[in-house]
A and B are shown apart, each in its own frame.
Chain A
Amino acid sequence: MIIGKYDPLKGERFQVLDETGAVVNEELEPQLTEEKLVGFYRQMLISRTADTKAFAMQREGRMGTYPPLKGHEAVQVGSAMAMEAEDWLFPHYRDLGALLIRGVPIHFVYLYWIGNEAGSRFPDGARVFPFTVPVGSQIPIGVGHALGAKLRKEKQAALISFGDGATSEGDFHDGMNFAGVFNAPAVFLCQNNKWAISVPRERQTAAKTIAQKAVAYGFPGMQVDGNDVLAVFSAVKEALDKARAGGGPTLIEADTYRMSDHTTADDASRYRPEEEVKAWEKKDPIVRFRNYLRAKGIWKEELEKNLQEEADKIVEEAVHQAENFPLPELEDIFRYTYKEMPPHLEEELAELKAAVEKRKAD
């Protein structure tokens, strides 16, 4: 039992690995196969590789505004790996790392930030809600979805992910409040990366922790070390299992850091001290987990080389797919407004088409 053990009001935080990757909590170290552990590491490498690539593509003019995930690898991978096939993910817009684990290949995320709606038309069967740009609005939607699963008596939970800034929105309050009242099978995962663009966490709430807010809604909340993939995995898994079993919602605050700019349009050096960034670089979630694997005798140079080569290949393929994806047609921007196109849209489409064709002909 992890939930309930770490009192957020006392500032207690769940950790399995310390910043060097040494096990500090043997009792709660998850007993996972080597394959699974390598799987975590592999996903984190792919996430970072895909992220670095997206950032570079933006600089080359091949990508629109993109929100980097660097520093969030452990929280995204750990949480997504904790989900069961039937669960639904209501992601934070930074969640590339979680999406690809949940059956949404990287090129969808690329397409989305390149500016193509097809990027939100996820593959059939992927139980993932598209990114919500209005901050925090995925929270009550995820709760409603979870409530639906409960009404239908399906063993299914919703993992709802968002940032620290989002906790100031009314949607956070509504989502938490409705989930508590309806005992909805929802797990709230706050990726507290300390900043909401340029506004620090202290400006979002006078509360000591975000996790403690759960207390007021009548269900447990806890802080985990968000750069410790094992801690995130174990806490989220327990919370999801509890939700599916009818035990109600949980709020998990993952203590992490945005190692990059807010988006490619931002310059974080304008508002946050270099020393802070440097201090967090020492807590890099990937390095930490590598140390753990090395100590266990799992990590070798050879493994790193193979995994990185594979990650590079996957990302190259994603770039290729995104950049060669068929361009949307003019009709597409009308076609999905309603199930059936109403007469006024038929008319507008016909007029626009005529103008565009004339323009092309000239």
Chain B
Amino acid sequence: MPALNIVEAVRLALREEMRRDDSVLVMGEDVGKNGGVFRTTEGLFDEFGEERVFDTPLSENGIMGTAVGLAVNGFRPVAEIQFMGFIYYTLNHLICHAARLRNRTRGNLSVPLVLRAPYGAGIRAPEHHSESTEALFAQIPGIKVVVPSSPADAKGLLKSAVRDPDPVVFLEPKKIYRAVKEEVPDIEYLIPLGKAKVVKEGKDLTIICWGAMVKVAEEVALKAQEEKVDVEIIDLRTLYPMDREAVINSVEKTGRALVVHEAPKAGGLGAEIAATINEKALLRLKAPVLRVTGQDITVPMPKTEDYYIPDAERVLRSIRKIMSF
């Protein structure tokens, strides 16, 4: 088992899927010879050639529209959007066609594609390169929204996304793209979509999080231990459709829940999770469900972005608040 970072794990997943299935294509801006601006597609052009790994004109709308057409024609395109800040150009084709073609043709046509994009703040990137607007996507029936939080998960989830019969938006936490290396199974390794993972078991409080926030939660769990709070961490892995069962099972055990996400608070997935807990486990709650999130403001530029991203201190304060309720 090689030790890989997330970038390398993404690349490995793509390579394995392309070797396995001729219909898998990689398309996007600079994904060919250059191997992608984050190098996630490095080497694929050399191995698979320009018919399977190709640079497109610089248009996300064009990428998404043609990817839908390729998918309808029997391919499995994996389209890369360079940054989540530029993904909005794809929305019309994602919402109006990719997401609903199966339904509107009563199962006759389907759109098995993956739309990959790095998301999130914390890498001192220019304006429009740091958003995490996953909640916008978690309300589109017909698509799946997947976020890995580790190299092994990146491989296992991306391979499943490529094989999924429905469109998948695959958001990669770029802050931790190269943060850690871990052993990634070099065998056929698939993590099912729609299932959350208990990253750490605990009995006092459940933190529900995903992507780069899982690392923050792990850091906090150690600190909370010193304060005699035993934290359970759930990594949702798939944000939509969400594994409600995993969330409820955990909260039924701990009786306390805290959602941590980088996206803005208003209308964020924290609200969805809190409401789900209310609907299904209200009487098991010992305290209100709290949220630690990005602020309801434009993501700040590098000089001030650290104010924005939830950190251990903010998460700890909310844990204390819940525990003292």
Contact = CB atoms under 8 A, between A and B. Distances in A.
A254 B156 CA distance: 51
A45 interface: no
Nearest to B89: A170
Contacts of B244: 343-344
B68 A174 contact: no
Contact of B105 (A120, A152, A337): A120
B70 interface: yes
A147 B69 contact: yes
B94 to A, nearest CB: 11
Contacts of B102: 336-339
Interface string A321-349: 00000000000100111111011110000
Interface in A286-308: none
Contact of B69 (A121, A144, A170, A344): A144
Nearest to A332: B106
A141 B93 contact: yes
B105 A121 contact: yes
Interface stretch (B29-37, B54-62, B127-135): B54-62
B165 A339 contact: yes
B106 A178 contact: no
Contacts of A137: 65, 92-93, 96-97
Contacts of A139: 65
A141 B62 contact: no
Interface residues of B, number: 43
B62 A178 contact: yes
Contact of A148 (B57, B70, B166, B241): B70
Interface residues of A, number: 41
Interface in A161-198: 170-171, 174-175, 177-178, 181
B104 A117 contact: yes
Contact of A171 (B61, B103, B144, B241): B61
Interface in B12-59: 25, 51, 56-57, 59
Contacts of A144: 65-73
A178 B70 contact: no
Interface of B: 25, 51, 56-57, 59, 61-62, 64-75, 92-93, 96-97, 101-110, 141-142, 144, 165-166, 194, 241-242, 244-245
22 contacts: A129-B109, A130-B101, A130-B104, A134-B92, A137-B65, A137-B97, A140-B93, A144-B65, A145-B69, A148-B69, A151-B25, A151-B75, A152-B74, A170-B59, A178-B65, A181-B56, A336-B102, A338-B102, A338-B241, A339-B110, A344-B241, A344-B242
